[in-house]
């Protein structure tokens, strides 16, 4: 029986390397679809949690994880030697940037090394980690072929960009269309068959490079448009125009306009990072991404601008930042998640501390965090709104916050337009 036949019969064993925001929902979806799934991760705590049916990813309910585990469809291990048992292997590991803004593929390389060590004929390997165009062919394929097996002939290799949007209840793994590009038509067909068994729509493309570029275009599109609207917000402030009213009016146009909203900066693992992958790769071809890099500069400057607005707010009541008590509502990078990776709130906390402010925060999804060499603990919401702070800052508009009560505090800087009613003591972007 061929690999595609085993996939269609749900007899293929599926392995997922990396059990984070991308890998765990994918593993659960494969298990729900009837496949025998094994998750691989170096974090023992994740393995223990999965074995106990306890989800550490908000988008994966305990009941779904527990059902998959109890049915014997999902297990997890740190033993990479078991990759030899898998018919299909999805690599879902992080791809951060180094401080020099060039791609750090160390996690991908380690995962591929583990796959290569046990690679056998008729296995399907799919990379989902966001990366620059050419990674699958230039990095992954040579590593897998080093022991003599050939891609597209002996084994199958493809790239399929993850499209996870943490906290989005409308779109999840099954309902988000899956782009798939193989190193050849057989690899594309095999990967399409695998995803087609559990995802509503599969979008095959002509190559891995196209699939890799799709992801970067999607996130660069968002980063550039957010950069544009952030610059418009700065401009509107200078002109004494309400940017939020401008956007609300503009989005009534039924064509040719898509609303984006200003904020304290970009956060998360994708949007602030992916455009840098594209710029880095483009420079190798002698192409300068001026538009993309300008957007990154604008977005990167927003935490500084928020601190400037905090200073203006405090100045209105004749107080300096130095010595003032400033409290942030929300430190996660977006609403209703607990992810603080690249969160602009962390930059705001750092800049305020450098200016001598006493900082604290409330976030129902982030119990504690390291800041300036000490641990900060989230202040309960009721205590925060009753606290004697010199300035409150809405940095993340979690639905759990009662914004009417925040509006009742003595001085507020609202970076998310969460406090809809204008008031003299509320300062917006």
Backbone angles phi, psi at 344, to 5 degrees: -65, -20
How many residues comprise the chain? 429
Task: Give catalytic status of residue 270 as yes or no.
Answer: yes
Residues 6+ apart with CB under 8 A from 106: none
**DSSP codes, 195-236:** HHTTSS-EEE-S-HHHHHHHHHHHHHHHHHHHHHHHHHHHHH
Parallel/antiparallel/unpaired status of strands 412-414 and 426-428:
parallel
Q: Is 382 helix (H, G, I), strand (E, B) or coil?
A: helix
360: helix, coil or strand?
Answer: strand
Pair 243, 429: CB distance under 8 Å: yes
**How far, in Å, are 310, 342, 357, 359 from residue 354 at the CA level?**
14, 19, 7, 11
On whether the CB atoms of residues 65 and 28 are closer than 8 A, the answer is yes
Q: Determine the Cα–Cα distance for residues 393 and 265; give it in Å rounded to an integer.
A: 14
Active-site position among 92, 236, 270, 391: 270
Tokens of 158: 């493809």
CB 275 within 8 A of CB 292: yes
Contacts of 253 (CB under 8 A, 6+ apart): none
CA torsion, ordered 219, 225, 227, 230, to nearest 10 deg: -130
Question: Active-site residues: which are they?
Answer: 270
């Amino acid at each position: 029986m061929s690999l595609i036949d085993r996939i269609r019969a749900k007899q293929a064993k599926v392995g997922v390397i990396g059990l984070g925001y991308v890998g765990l929902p994918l593993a659960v979806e494969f298990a729900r679809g009837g496949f025998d799934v094994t998750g691989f991760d170096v974090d023992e705590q994740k393995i223990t949690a999965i074995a106990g049916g306890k989800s550490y990813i908000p988008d994966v309910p305990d009941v779904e994880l527990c059902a998959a585990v109890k049915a014997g469809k999902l297990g997890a291990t740190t033993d990479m030697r078991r990759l030899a048992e898998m018919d299909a292997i999805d690599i879902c590991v992080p791809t951060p940037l180094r401080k020099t803004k060039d791609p750090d593929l160390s996690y991908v390389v380690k995962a591929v090394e583990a796959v290569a060590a046990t690679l056998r004929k008729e296995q399907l390997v799919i990379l989902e980690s966001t990366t620059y165009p050419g990674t699958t062919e230039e990095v992954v394929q040579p590593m897998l072929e080093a022991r003599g097996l050939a891609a597209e002939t002996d084994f199958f290799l493809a790239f399929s960009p993850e499209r996870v949007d943490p906290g989005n209840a409308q779109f999840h793994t099954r309902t988000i269309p899956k782009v798939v590009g193989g190193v050849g038509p057989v690899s594309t067909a095999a990967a399409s068959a695998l995803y087609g068994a559990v995802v509503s729509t599969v979008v095959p493309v002509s190559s891995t490079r196209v699939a890799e570029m799709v992801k970067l275009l999607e996130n660069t599109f968002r980063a550039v448009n957010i950069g544009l609207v952030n610059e418009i917000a700065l401009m509107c402030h200078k002109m004494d125009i309400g940017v939020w009213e401008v956007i609300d009016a503009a989005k009534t146009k039924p064509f040719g306009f898509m609303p984006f909203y200003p904020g304290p900066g970009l956060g998360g693992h994708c949007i602030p990072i992916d455009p840098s992958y594209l710029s880095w790769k483009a420079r190798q071809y002698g192409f300068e991404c001026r538009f993309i890099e300008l957007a990154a500069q604008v977005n990167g400057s927003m935490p500084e601008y928020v601190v400037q607005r905090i200073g203006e707010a405090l100045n209105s009541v004749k107080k300096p930042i130095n010595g003032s008590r400033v409290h942030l509502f929300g430190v996660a990078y977006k609403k209703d998640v607990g992810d603080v990776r690249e969160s602009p709130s962390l930059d705001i906390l750092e800049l305020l501390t450098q200016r001598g402010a006493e900082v604290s925060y409330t976030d129902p999804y982030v119990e504690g965090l390291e800041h300036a060499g000490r641990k900060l603990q989230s202040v309960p919401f009721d205590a925060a709104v009753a606290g004697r702070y010199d300035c409150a800052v809405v940095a993340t508009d979690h639905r759990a916050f009662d914004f009417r009560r925040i509006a009742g505090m003595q001085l507020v800087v609202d970076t998310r337009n969460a406090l809809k009613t204008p008031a003299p003591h509320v300062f917006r972007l």
